[in-house]
Amino acid sequence: MSTGRHSTELSRLPVNDVEFDGYITLNGQLCLDKKRQVIFGRPFDKGTASKLMSIFKSKEIPLALVEAERIYINFVNDTVCKAQKSISTPIPDISAYNDGNIYQATAFLKRDEEAKFQGYLPEGCKFARWCDDGVDIISTEGGKVEGIKYFCDLYEIERNEIMAFGDAENDIDMLKYAYIGVAMGNAQDSVKKISDYVTSDIDKNGIKNAIQLYNILPDPK
């Protein structure tokens, strides 16, 4: 599994019952083995973490900080509620930083606010937007592709053996890197545009239909 979500969020989703061989979480910033134990991590350096903390404390925008074991936010507004509802995920607890390693931050701001916030973004960071109201902040050296490369090296998987599925902007690099990049039918238009194939919606067996089409899973018909 390759996701922008935190491991604690997976337990609240139907996919929690599926046993994966590995998990690329937080847009590649934190990789877990099949038992969901950390095997690779790329936290922000102290300088970057300090600058993110300044933004966090200023409370100019809602900002969530993500550590290996928890997610917390500086304050909550309607934008936060809307974004979290769109991915069926609870709102993070309002809490304070306690000097832990930060692997990712999430800014809750609309697209037309992104340019203004770009000026506050620490050097060495980039955006990975996942909806109109939420954008993840990760290391410029990170991303889902880096997590995929880690697992490919670990399991001796070649690039031409990779098939990836995605629906949001933070999946675009991953879909471009994969030998076959599949956009879900419910994906954003920008994701569909760069994909090799657009399958049906996630709620209409989109993944199953695609892997049957590519003869990875036999079609019972």
Q: Per-residue pLDDT tens for 2-60? A: 998 888 888 777 777 888 999 999 999 999 999 999 999 989 998 999 999 999 999 99
User: Which segments in the chain show pLDDT lower than 50?
Assistant: none
Q: Please state, in angstroms and rounded to a whole number, the distance separating the CA atoms of residues 126 and 115.
A: 12
Query: What's the CA gap between 126 and 110, in Å, rounded?
Result: 16
Helix (H) or strand (E) holding 63: strand 63-66
Kindly report the pTM of this predicted structure: 0.84
DSSP state at residue 168: S
What is residue 122's predicted lDDT score, i.e. its pLDDT? 84
Beta bridge partners of 24: 2, 31
pLDDT of 8 reads: 84
Q: What is the residue-wise DSSP string for 92-126? A: PEE----S----EEEE---HHHHHHHHTTSPTTEE
